[in-house]
Structure 1
Amino acid sequence: MSSVVAFVGLGHMGGPMAAHLVRAGHRVAGYDLVPDCLAAASAAGVEPARSAADAVAGADVVISMLPAGRHVLALYRQEGALAAARPGTLFIDCSTIDVADARAAHEAAVAAGHRSLDAPVSGGVVGAEAATLTFMAGGGEAEFAAAEPYLSLMGRRVVHCGAAGAGQAAKICNNMILGVSMIAVSEAFVLGESLGLSHQALYDVASAASGQCWALTVNCPVPGPVPTSPANRDYRPGFAAPLMAKDLGLAASALRAGGVSAPLGEKAAELYAAFAAGDGAGQDFSGIVRAIRERKDGEPA
């Protein structure tokens, strides 16, 4: 059944996601601050709105994909999305933000008479374009049931993780695993290089042994063994290093707030922050192998 969907945030992720909803027969009103993003979405069938509030007015569902928690809260409050929406509108935020901000956004939506779900994604731009994303949802059972048909059009797997904020919690835990594992895989390849081991030999062993992981078999950080990995495209993202740095920063903040000891997660956040602030700013997160390779013996990480 066709619905009216408002989609706010039509960048590299949001644009393709909104296009899938259009192709499924939904009417999608979209808004983005960047004119080029709005134009690209319009070419895919999204109806451009003059403001976020204009996009939201009359929508059955509002989906947002924004850079940070402050942008989501501003959308809901200062930009008037909650005020412009009809009572009972379902708000689905697919951004990756702090758990506390996700819960604050949920509370603001409910206080304004709406329904709310946090549903961050895993899968990157490739997943957004191919509709193979994984959604991690936090909110009530009824809200999840209402959101699932829309999320299923944009992804391959939709998981209800618990109450409000649980989707964000799952996302930062997942990406802490990913960040740490990519560093470990990269260090192993650099070690293998120093020992005279070819990339292909190490891949052939580790991919079929206990070292097997997504960072190795899908996003291999060296050219050759996995032809579709960003390493074969001079590390063009993919999943950009600054986004990994952002996610690990959220995880590190949560670790400190919860008093959890996780030295590998904290070190991964530190390494990716430095990489993203330097040569890695425009690279895929697997490009961290270059930074590892270039470190001098004995130099602090």
Structure 2
Amino acid sequence: MVAVTLVGAGRIGLPVAGHLVAAGHRVEVVDLREDRQVDVEAAGAHWSSSLTRLPADHVLVTVLPGSPELRELMLGPSGGSAPGALAQLAPGGSWIDLTSTAPGLAQDLAAAANERGVRYLDAAVGGGPQDARRGDLALYVGGEDSDVERLRPLLETFTDPTRIRHMGGHGAGYLTKLLINQLWFGQAVAVGEALLLGAQAGLATDRLADVLDTSPAGSDFVHTHLSSLLAGDYLPTFGLARVVEELDSLARLAESAGTPWSVSERVARVHRRALAHYGDVDGELLGVAWLEHLAGRRLGRSVGPDQSAVSSG
């Protein structure tokens, strides 16, 4: 049995906590939102609204919305007005971060963890809440080989061993996840543009979608997620502001590395304009919704975001 403290009882964190409990571990879940207490305790975990000092035999697991929240939690507020959560971990302790965050932040986190004597893995998750509930998340892991192998049994409690991919040193997991997301968002925008042009020219959208699925232009997006778009579902499991945050962090990385980023920058621009139009609402496919708005027609068969069908939570 491992003593685990998990911070973040959200769409991914709560199912992960349930799997850890089911595997026989003692799990405490920390979240500022008191309305999560009932669900946490129903999953068999202990509830706390604050993080206390953790001994070296504990493992800290964090599942946060994005980079700003992760930086503030672990390193403390800007200006040094209070210590971060790393100060609560005893030397020799372990920390696994499942957050999708900016790769550059990993270097600051790794340096702070090393100074504290804490073993740290970035293990960004791929997949959504249903995958988390099934124990079928993908984990893109960055960190030392020895730490990956030592903590692998814990990771395997909430996903299939074949879904754990060690990508390299600190930050490699974060970068892998964001590059996958960038390509997925790019595919969504490209497919949306193609379908809108086809529809404007008189092609039946559902027939074109079927052809794309079995053509050289097929992709996981077309095969798995296009049907959601055509049903009017903009996938409200991830915030539009988070999409823009991820794309912008990659743009900064590409600029500093001096690598081409023109196509991806166009994808990011579409999502920035969608964010300006719709606001900070949930919907991974709202970039396509913005294209629909510009085209004056919707691909989906139900009420679209311009008719207030997107979630604001």
Aligned to 2:98: 94
Aligned to 2:305: none
Structure 1 residues 282 and 76, CA gap change in structure 2 (3 angstroms):
closer
Distance 1:262 1:231 in 2: 29
Distance 1:195 1:280 in 2: 31
Aligned to 2:283: 284
How far apart are residue 59 of structure 1 and its match?
5.2
- Indicate conservation of the 8 Å contact 1:236/1:282, yes or no: no
Distance 1:130 1:231 in 2: 25
Aligned to 1:142: 146
Amino acid at match of 1:21: L
Distance 1:276 1:130 in 2: 31
Structure 1 residues 234 and 203, CA gap change in structure 2 (3 angstroms):
closer
Structure 1 residues 273 and 98, CA gap change in structure 2 (3 angstroms):
same
Deviations 1:138-174 (A, max 9, x none): 1000111122222222234110000111111111211
Structure 1 residues 138 and 44, CA gap change in structure 2 (3 angstroms):
same
Distance 2:235 2:131 in 1: 15
Moved more, 245-254 or 281-290: 281-290
- Indicate conservation of the 8 Å contact 1:280/1:288, yes or no: no
RMSD (CA atoms): 2.1
Structure 1 residues 189 and 168, CA gap change in structure 2 (3 angstroms):
same
Moved over 4 A (4+): none
How far apart are residue 294 of structure 1 and its match?
2.1
Partner of 2:27, secondary structure, is strand
TM-score w.r.t. length of structure 1 = 0.87
Partner of 1:289, secondary structure, is helix
Of 210, 213, 218, which residue of structure 1 is paired with 2:216? 210
How far apart are residue 124 of structure 1 and its match?
2.2
Aligned to 2:133: 129
Which 5+ residue runs of structure 2 have no aligned equivalent?
77-82, 297-313
1:76-115 aligned within 5 A: 76-78=74-76, 79-115=83-119
Sequence identity, in percent?
Answer: 29
TM-score w.r.t. length of structure 2 = 0.84
Distance 2:279 2:194 in 1: 20
Distance 1:289 1:50 in 2: 38
Distance 2:27 2:57 in 1: 9
How far apart are residue 236 of structure 1 and its match?
4.5
2:46 maps to 1:47: yes
Partner of 2:157, secondary structure, is helix
Aligned to 1:63: 61
How far apart are residue 187 of structure 1 and its match?
0.9
Aligned to 2:244: 245
Amino acid at match of 1:291: W
1:18-57 aligned within 5 A: 18-53=17-52, 56-57=54-55
Moved more, 197-206 or 67-76: 67-76
Moved more, 42-51 or 111-120: 42-51
Amino acid at match of 2:287: I
- Indicate conservation of the 8 Å contact 1:190/1:289, yes or no: no
Distance 2:256 2:39 in 1: 40
Moved more, 277-286 or 244-253: 277-286
- Indicate conservation of the 8 Å contact 1:98/1:250, yes or no: yes
Structure 1 residues 182 and 116, CA gap change in structure 2 (3 angstroms):
same
Structure 1 residues 280 and 13, CA gap change in structure 2 (3 angstroms):
farther
2:176 maps to 1:178: no
How far apart are residue 230 of structure 1 and its match?
5.9
Distance 2:171 2:127 in 1: 20
- Indicate conservation of the 8 Å contact 2:9/2:30, yes or no: yes
Structure 1 residues 151 and 273, CA gap change in structure 2 (3 angstroms):
farther
Moved more, 259-268 or 230-239: 230-239
Amino acid at match of 1:210: P
Moved more, 157-166 or 191-200: 191-200
- Indicate conservation of the 8 Å contact 1:248/1:269, yes or no: yes
Moved more, 60-69 or 177-186: 60-69
How far apart are residue 31 of structure 1 and its match?
0.4
